[in-house]
Amino acid sequence: MKTITPESVQGITAKYIKKESAVLPVLQAIQQQNDNHLSADGLVDAGAALNMSSSKIFGIASYYTMFNLKPVGKYHLQVDTSVPGFLHGADNIVAHLSQTLGIKVGETTKDGLFTLSTVQDLASCATGPVIQVNDRYYENMTFEKTDKLVEALRNGQTPDNDPSMTVVSKCGILLNDRTQADCRTLAFYQRQGGYQNLAKALSMAPADIVTETKDAQIRGRGGAGFSAGAKWSFLPKNDAELIGTFPTRPVYLICNADEGEPGTFKDRQIMEFNPHLLIEGLAISAYAIGAQHAFIYIRGEFAWIARILETAIEEASQAGLLKHVNILVHLGAGSYVCGDETGLIESLEGKRGNPRAKPPFPASSGLYGCPTIVNNVETLALVPYVIQHGARAFKQIGIPNNYGPKIFGVSGHVNRPGVFEYPLGTPLKTILDAAGGVKGTMKAVIVGGLSVAILTAAEAEGLTLDYDACQKAGTSLGSGGIIVINATVSIPELALRTIEFYHHESCGQCVPCREGSWVIAHKLHDLLEGRGTLQDIDQILHLCRTIPGLTICPTGEAFSIPIHAMLSKFRPEFDALLSERTAHD
C-alpha cells in the first residue's frame, strides 16, 4: 500500500481553518493512490496524519458511500438507477453490462479489471443512462456506446463523454453560451461584463447590499424558497453583545453545491459552464455579510467540476478580484443528507454528516460554532444581476412574490430533456413544449425534485411553475426538477424506486426515518412480488402520515410526502397487486 506523505497532508490541511476539516480530502487522496481502495492500513495512516483515532476515522469513512472499504476493480462501473435513470432505461444498461462482463451487480471480473455497481442519483437526470467510471461520467449511454466504452477501457483508454442535452435560456442570466470553447474562462466572462458587479458592490456599504437583496426578494433556489436577503439579516448584529465576554466570532459563507436530489441537475450547469458567475455571486455575498472565508461544498461525484471551479478561483485570484475573501472548494464523498445545511456543516468540520437539531440555527451558530450563511448555487448566481440592475429590475422578471429566473431541469419521458431558464410563473406546458413535448401520454409529473408530491396529468393541467401555484396545487416547486412520467410506468414500481433512494441515503440518526423507510421499502417490495396485503398498504399510509415532523432534518418528509401522494392518487394500481387471497386477509 502507498502511504500518504507528511508533505502531502500538510499541503491539504494548510488550506483549512481547522486541521480536522481536511479529513475527507486526505481520505480521498489515500484512496486515489491505492487503486480506488481505502484499506484498513489507509485508515490508520489517515488517523495518524490528522491525530484522529482509528475508530473515529472508520466512523467517518464508513458514512460516505464513495469510500471503497473493500477492493474494487481497476474500473468501477457505477450505473445510476434512481428514478430518472430508471425512466431513461438504466436497468437495461445494468443487465447488458452484467451479461457482457459475466458478473452480477456487486461483483468484480476475474481479471480484476471491472467491478459493476448500481448507485443512487448522479445528477445526470437528463442525460441518462449514465455510467460513472471511477470519477468520470459517461452519459446518454446505449448498448452500442456501452460496448465501445468497455472495449476502450480494456485497452487502457478513457474515451470522451457525451453530455449533450437541450439547453434553453429565455432570461440569459444563469445559463451562458456553452458552445463557446472558452466559456469557462475569466476572459470570456469579463467580455460579458463579468466582475463589474463585484467592483460596484465593493464600492457600496455591505448593509446596502443586504437591503437590495432583501428588496429583490430572491427566494432560495435550493428547495425551500426562503428569502436569501432575509436569511442574511438573521446574522447577529453585534456578536459580542450576544455572547457576553467572548470575542466577536468570524462569519462564514458556504455555497451548498451538494446537488443530490433525483430530478435535480441545475446547479451543475452553472458550475460546469459558467463558474465565474457563481464565484462573483459568492464574492459579493461574502462582502455583504462580512465573511472573509467562503466554501463551496460540492458533491464528491463532481470531481471534474470541482477542478473547473478551482481553476476559475485561481484565475480570479491572480487577477486581484478576490482580495477580500478566500474561497475553498471542498469535495464531499457521497451523502444526500449533506445537502441539509447542518449536515453539510458537520461534514465540513470533519465529521459524519449527521444533521443537527435546530435551534441554534447556522446564522447564530454554524461552522465551528460561528455565524454561518448557507446558500444554494443558483441563489448566489442571481446576486450579480441584482447588484447590476437593482431590485426593481429583478422584480420585473417573474410574477408577484415569485421573482427572477429559474432553471428547470426536465427529465423522464420528454423528447428533448435538458435545462430551461425561464421566469418564475411560467406555465408547465411552456417548459414541456420547449422540451419537445411528452413521449406518449403523460400519466403524472413531479415538478420539484423527487421529494415533492406527484401530480396526476389532470392536476398538472394549467399549472404555473412558481412557489405559490405549486403549493396551491398540493405540491412544491422545490428545486425545479421536473420528472415526466408517461402511461407505460407502474406507479408502485416508481414508489419502490423512490423509497429505495431515501432508505439508502438515510443517515440513520432518527429512528422514524431509518426504520420507517426500511419498513415502507419492504412492504412495497412485497406488494410488487405479490405477497402484499391490504394491511401493508394501510401501514404505509399510516407511516407516511406519522413520520413528518419526527426527524431532525427534512428527509422524513422527503419520502413520506411523495410516497403518500403516489399511493393516494394511484391507489387502484396498488390494490391491483393484491391477490384475491391477500385482498381479504
Residue with cell 445537502: 339
Q: What is the number of H-type helices and E-type strands within the chain?
A: 26, 18
Coil, strand or helix: which one is 492?
helix
Please report, for the chain, the start and end positions of each structural domain, with discontinuous segments joined by +: 6-61, 75-154, 168-394, 398-486, 491-584
Residue ranges in 116-179 assigned as alpha helix (H): 143-154
Give every residue of the chain whose pLDDT is below 70, as ranges.
1, 238-247, 579-585
- Whether 398-486 and 491-584 share one fold: the answer is no
Listed residue (78, 83, 66, 59) closest to 28, CA to CA: 66
- Grid cell, residue 190, equals 469579463
CB atoms inside a 10 Å sphere around CB 92: 15
What is the rounded distance in angstroms from the CA atom of residue 398 to the CA atom of residue 391?
A: 13
* Residue whose entry in the numeric block shows the C-alpha cell 452480477: 104
Bin 208: left if φ > 0, else alpha if -120 < ψ < 50, else beta. Answer: alpha
Is the Cα dihedral 479, 257, 88, 119 positive or negative? negative
Q: Which residues pair with 419 in a beta bridge?
A: 167, 409
Q: How many angstroms separate the Cα of 545 from the Cα of each of 12, 244, 402?
A: 46, 43, 29
**Grid cell listed for 282:** 459568492
Three-state secondary-structure class, residue 567: helix
- The DSSP 8-state label assigned to residue 161 in this structure reads P
> Which fold is adopted by the domain 168-394?
Rossmann fold (3.40.50)
Angstrom distance (rounded) from CA 286 to CA 440? 47
Burial class (CB in 10 A: 0-12, 13-18, 19+), 91: middle
Which residues contact residue 365 at a Cβ distance below 8 angstroms, ignoring those fewer than 6 apart? 371
- What is 426-488 written as a DSSP string? EEHHHHHHHTT-BSS-EEEEESS-TTSPPEEHHHHTT-EESHHHHHHTTS--TT-EEEEEETT
pLDDT, residue 244, reads 38
Q: Distance (Å, rounded) from C-alpha 509 to C-alpha 351?
A: 14
Specify whether the CB–CB gap between 278 and 316 falls below 8 A: no
- CATH, range 398-486: 3.10.20.600
In the numeric block, which cell numbers belong to residue 583?
385482498
Q: What single string gives the DSSP state of each residue in 298-313?
A: E-TT-HHHHHHHHHHH
Architecture of domain 491-584 in CATH? Up-down Bundle (1.20)
Question: What is the Cα–Cα distance from 402 to 398, expressed in whole angstroms?
Answer: 6
Q: Distance from CA of residue 172 to its chain's centroid?
A: 23
pTM here is 0.95
The one-letter amino acid at 319: A
Q: What is the CATH class of 75-154?
A: alpha beta
Query: Contact 504/484 with Cβ under 8 angstroms?
Result: no
Structure-block grid coordinates of residue 359? 435551534
Burial 388-399 (b: 16+ CB within 10 A, else e): eeebeebbebbe
DSSP-assigned letter for residue 226: -
C-alpha cell at 22: 481536511
Residues 6+ apart with CB under 8 A from 144: none
The Cα–Cα gap between 333 and 66 comes to: 5
- SS3 at position 576: coil
Separation CA 162–CA 179 (nearest Å): 14
